[in-house]
Amino acid sequence: MEVRIDPHTLERAEERGTNEDEIKDVIDTGFAVPAKHGRIGRAKIYEYGTQRHGKYYQQKRVEVIYVVEGNAVITVTAYVFYGKWEGQK
């Protein structure tokens, strides 16, 4: 299935600390998360082990919200959360 990353999604994703490769990886291999308005949500936790805005974070969780139209996945937005998650991958 074709993945179309909306330019606004990519711009916001980069500001939040992720990129096109991670967005595609989350869509392909992430776990399901709730999404509103008939959209689909998937998330994945990555080892991070570095600082962001002066604070150290062990992991980051990337969530991608998207819709499926025909044979295409079209992104709506991507969120990035920093911290430590147990038992999820």
Question: How far is Cα 71 from Cα 87, in angstroms, rounded to an integer?
Answer: 33
- DSSP annotation of 75: E
pLDDT of residue 20: 96
For the whole model, what pTM was predicted? 0.92
- According to DSSP, the β-strands at 40-52 and 72-83 are unpaired
**pLDDT average, residue stretch 68-85:** 96
**pLDDT average, residue stretch 57-84:** 97
Strand order in the sheet with 55-69: 2-4, 72-83, 55-69, 40-52, 31-33
CATH classification code of 2-83:
3.30.2310
Residues 6+ apart with CB under 8 A from 15: none
